[in-house]
Chains A and B, each alone.
Chain A
């Protein structure tokens, strides 16, 4: 069985074995920059860097049907407003998750999909509702 390896020196190559190994660099996944008041949809994969301005607006995060899909939302800056991201799933305490509200700089959330809903495994947000 072939094993696919990436290393900074050789690039992508195959050798015997199995698996997919990233040798000596980090994997950079897809990311997007979004802003409340401008954007309304959060991508269902990768990392979203959310800028919250002075307004109070909303966005939606649809379910990713791929089991194990991970989603990071980070909000490094806040201009005094808030952004309510609607997301269907479970909070960390097992109760129903309806939305994540980002209303301060530095807030973030990590979610994993079970194929039908998001499960929030880490969150620092103003409100996890």
Chain B
């Protein structure tokens, strides 16, 4: 029977016997570094031109589950309450005739932030960052968007899908995943998926790196202390936080064997 040995002096060699030994060199694990981001839209606002007004214009973006959210403009309050009926949920944004592009962007952000009455309100579904006349609108719900289209405004406000939220799932075949979050928003969390293993005994280490910009969670078929679980998250997130979870696939679930600053839920 052959025995395989890897050593710094001889490299790979087979000798009589059995076993697989790495004698004096490091066994470097397969790994990946990923920075998952939440789905987001970029909205580039323009000034209101009284000769070609934004009045009654609108654009539509989508929540993670595909429900449509329309933002429509009421210049100088003449259309108050007359939603155009272009989407599942609609939000009126008012500003003065001739408003600058920055003022239009500010008005949109202010309206979204203030709309928090129900769970489906704009302010609960989206988080807005404004830089001059450009808005980045993050989708608060984690996961890939089910609808990746947008409806631009007719008058020229450009709406683009910046990230569809699908990037960042873990590669279950790699032994280690180093995960960090790339959102601009400190309160915005992201969830990435860990698919099932393929071989009993397969190992998976997940390292949670800096969580300065929102927390990253890992969802999958987990087993912790004999109970089914679905989510790994940092117990104490923060700018200099780090944590790790060691998993072994048992044929039906990833068994959590060791953790550091990680909560299993």
Contact = CB atoms under 8 A, between A and B. Distances in A.
Interface of A: 6, 8-12, 19, 21-22, 25-30, 44-46, 64, 66-70, 89-94, 110, 112, 114-115, 117, 119-122
Contact of B242 (A11, A22, A27, A90): A90
A30 B23 CA distance: 5
Given A69-B28, A90-B243, A11 B4 contact: yes
A67 B238 CA distance: 20
Nearest to B28: A66
Given A12-B4, A90-B260, A114 B209 contact: yes
A66 B260 contact: no
A27 B22 contact: yes
B27 to A, nearest CB: 5
Of the candidates B2, B25, B173, the one having the most CB atoms from chain A within 10 angstroms of its own CB is B2
A110 to B, nearest CB: 6
A122 B243 CA distance: 12
12 contacts: A8-B18, A27-B21, A28-B22, A30-B25, A30-B26, A30-B27, A67-B178, A70-B29, A90-B243, A92-B261, A110-B246, A112-B246
B19 interface: yes
B29 A94 contact: no
A119 B173 contact: no
B33 A12 contact: no
A10 B199 CA distance: 20
Across the A-B interface, give the 5 residue pairs with the lowest CB-CB distance, nearest first.
A68-B176, A11-B2, A94-B261, A45-B26, A68-B29
B178 A92 contact: no
Interface string B186-230: 000000000000010000010101000000000000000000000
A28 B20 contact: yes
B260 A120 contact: yes
A119 B26 contact: no
Given A12-B4, A67-B207, A94-B236, A112 B244 contact: yes
A28 B260 contact: no
B32 to A, nearest CB: 8
B23 A119 contact: no
B148 interface: no
A121 B259 contact: yes
Contact of A114 (B238, B242, B245): B242
Nearest to B32: A67
Given A90-B241, A93-B235, A120-B260, 6 more contacts: A11-B1, A12-B14, A25-B20, A28-B20, A67-B33, A115-B178
Contacts of A25: 18-20
B99 to A, nearest CB: 47
A122 B242 CA distance: 15
B14 A11 contact: yes
A93 B22 CA distance: 32
Contacts of B259: 92, 121
Contacts of B18: 8, 25
